[in-house]
Structures are given as C-alpha cells and as structure tokens.
Amino acid sequence: MSRTAEKQIELSELAIVDADSHVSQGAPELVPYIPDRYSGARKMIEISEHPQREVYSYGRASPPFANDSGNVRSQGDFSNLRADTPEAKRDVMERFDIERTVLTPGQNVHLAGVNNDDAAAALAVAYNDWIRETFLDADDSFYGTLSIAPQKPQEAAEEIERVADERDIVGVQFPVAGLTPPAGHRQYLPIYEAAAKHDLPIVMHGGNSNSQGVFPVQRKWSETFLEDHAFTFPAGIMWQLITVVMRGIPERFPDLDFVLQEAGIEWLPWMMWRLDDHYLQVSFDAPALDKQPSEYIEEQFYVTTQPLGHTDNTRHMAMALELAGGADTVMFASDHPHPDFDTPEELFENLRSRFEPEDIRRMMGETAADVFGL
C-alpha cells in the first residue's frame, strides 16, 4: 500500500477511457437500417406503437429512478437521456476529460428479450450500420461494440464476420439479460468462435428491463425498481459468468477476453473463491476445465466499475478493487447517460488511497485501451 500516490498523480494527467457509455437507441432509430431480407420483422416493428414493450419486452417492477424529476420518467426510458447525438456524447466527454469512449447500445443491450428471433436479428444488423453512420464515423474518439442476436447464433457469427474489421468496432456485445439458455450453452459456440477469430472481446452488460420472467432475474415479488435493480444486475451476470467458465468457454478459446459491464466488482473475488471451492470438491461436474475457475477469470475476464457502490471508507473500496484483480481486471466506466452514472473522479479518489500511479493509469484507461485494442 502506498499513500504517496496521492502526491504523484492527478486526475488531469490521465488518458481516461470510458469502457461503458450508452447511446440512446430504440427501435425507431433502427427501422430505416433494417435490410430487406428482414422485411417481415421490419413491418412488425414498424406497426408497433410501443416497440420498447412490444418488441424489446420491457417491463419494470415500478417506475425507474423515481428520485429523478427530469427526463427519466417523462420519457419513460432512462436510456433516452442526452446521448442521442455525437455532440451530446462529446460534450460529456469534454466535461469530464474523457479521452476515448466505448459506446454501448441502448435498448439493444436487451436484445435477448426480443420474442421474435427474426426481429432480434434485424435489430442487431440495423444497429451495426446505424451506430457506424451516426456515431462512429462522426468522431475518432468513439468506439463501439457490435450488436448480435443470440437467438440466431449462426447469423450472429455471420454478423460478426461482416463488421468485425471496421476500425471502430472493438467488441461483441452479447446480450445476456434474460438470456435463455445461459451464455455457457454450446449453441453459442459460433459466436465465440467468430469473436475469437477476429480478436474481439465478448462484452456482457448487466440488465433486467426485459427479463422479468427469466432466472435469475425474474422480478415477481419485487415491489420496487430499487429492489429489482439492486439485485438483478449483478445476479444476472454472475449466472452468465458461472456457466461460461464452468462449461469451458475460456478453456476452448484461451485468447478470448470477456468484459462484464455494470454488474459491480466487489463480488468478483468472492465468486472466484466460491467457484474454486466448488470446483475442487465437485470437479466431476466440470470436466472441461484444466485449472481452477479463478485462473480463467484472472486471465480472461475484465470488469467495468460503474456502479462502483457507495462507502465513506475509500480504503475499503480500494481493497475491494484490488481483490477483484486491480489494474489487471478493473476498467473505469461512466454508464452515461443513465442516472446512476459515475464520474472519473468517483473511481479516482478511491484508487488514490491505495494504488501506485501506474496502476491508477491502467484502471482509468490503459487496461481498457489494451483489451479493446483502441
């Protein structure tokens, strides 16, 4: 531990990378980009008066972020806040001195909840053309994860092939909120193969907006958005992590990286210890593994920080970040424009109480630049 770091580095010196920053995006933006081979799905989406509910299957336990008196509730969807143009995104990057941003989809994060498989595939393909035309081509500091529909793994692999070589495409956004079967299932092998072939990390974002009926994020008996949101984001990602690791996806694809977004970081060491304990006691159940689960996680998994969680004890937070893997694993993220966003300073002030400047630089940006190949 070193407290001298506080004197050795300032936030303004850092090349900050935001590893999870959303664009505002629903079905209406994408419809014009849906190709003719999905004309049936396109028509279905076009005639929907409420595509957020009727296509993406959104639902909530209660109104989201009820303390926010502004746009959140009036627009009905907090993913439609102030991230609808490159200028809006650039403004927030300048305000917080963020150098480069990895853009995350809006409603396409919840593509796994689309009931019609063709509609899901159409929205994925459309997103990849829309994001390039509207955001990625507009600013060299923007990068993006491409969208896929896990309902159609082979088509998803073909979509990865189609856009993987674009300079600004730096990852595969694998929608896992409400995903059935879970991400470790063999049916998704074409997706992992294509991502590995193109050296793109698999990116999984916490979520629950459309997963009200699906283990482990079903919300029946949640009386409020708060109860639901606090539990389901990390719980959903934990389930995906467990199935992906224990069924040997990292073992099959040892050069493939995984990025977990918006699921918290403090549980990760606990999960590694828990999985190692289970593995050593019940290794019959994990014949695909050649080493302990924590070793795969340490070598191939990364986590983004927002929402960091709140404690007044910055040293405890810094210890948790170190246990989660520190600079080898942790990457700053803002989650702009959502109401639970974190500023760079929120992470930086916690890091300063424990880490050396080099590790702080990595967690604030360099590790993300390496993982995403920026």
Partner 1 sequence: MVERHAVAGTGAFEDEGDRVFVEINELEVAVFRIDGEYHALVNYCPHQGAPLCEGELTGESTVDEDWNWTYDETERNVRCPWHGWVFDVTTGESTDAERYRMPTYDVEVEDDTVYVLR
Q: Is 273 in the site for partner 1 (CB under 8 A)?
A: no
Segment 90 to 119, residues that bind partner 1, using CB under 8 A:
none
Q: Figure out which of the listed residues 78, 192, 233, 279 binds partner 1, where binding follows CB under 8 A.
A: 279
What's the closest the beta carbon of residue 186 comes to partner 1, in angstroms?
A: 5
Q: Is 67 in the site for partner 1 (CB under 8 A)?
A: no
Asked if 144 and 170 touch (Cβ cutoff 8 Å), the reply is: yes
Segment near partner 1 (CB under 8 A), from 68-76, 116-124, 288-296, 351-359? Answer: 288-296
What's the closest the beta carbon of residue 255 comes to partner 1, in angstroms?
A: 17
Can you tell me the distance from the alpha carbon of 76 to that of 112, in angstroms, rounded to the nearest whole number? Answer: 20
Q: Is 248 in the site for partner 1 (CB under 8 A)?
A: yes
Asked if 129 and 33 touch (Cβ cutoff 8 Å), the reply is: yes
> How does DSSP classify residue 208?
-
Can you tell me the distance from the alpha carbon of 263 to that of 357, in angstroms, rounded to the nearest whole number? Answer: 26
Q: Is 292 in the site for partner 1 (CB under 8 A)?
A: yes
Number of amino acids touching partner 1 (CB under 8 A): 14
Q: Figure out which of the listed residues 69, 74, 221, 282 binds partner 1, where binding follows CB under 8 A.
A: 282
Segment 174 to 233, residues that bind partner 1, using CB under 8 A:
186
Query: Looking at this protein, which amino acid is placed at residue 1?
Result: M
Q: Is 289 in the site for partner 1 (CB under 8 A)?
A: yes
Beginning with the edge strand found earlier in the chain, give each strand of the sheet holding 142-147 in spatial order.
Answer: 16-22, 98-104, 142-147, 169-173, 202-205, 258-261, 301-304, 330-331
User: CB-hemisphere CA count at 13 Å for 126?
Assistant: 27
Q: Is 288 in the site for partner 1 (CB under 8 A)?
A: yes
Segment near partner 1 (CB under 8 A), from 35-43, 90-98, 280-288, 333-341? Answer: 280-288
Burial string for 229-264 (b: 16+ CB within 10 Å, else e) reads beebbbbbbbbbbbbbbbbbbbbebeebbbbbbbbb
Pair of tokens at residue 223:
């009386």
**Residue number with CB closer to partner 1 (50 or 186):** 186
Can you tell me the distance from the alpha carbon of 321 to that of 208, in angstroms, rounded to the nearest whole number? Answer: 25
Q: Figure out which of the listed residues 165, 255, 281, 312 binds partner 1, where binding follows CB under 8 A.
A: 281
Q: Which residues bind partner 1 (CB under 8 A)?
A: 186, 248, 276, 279-284, 287-289, 291-292
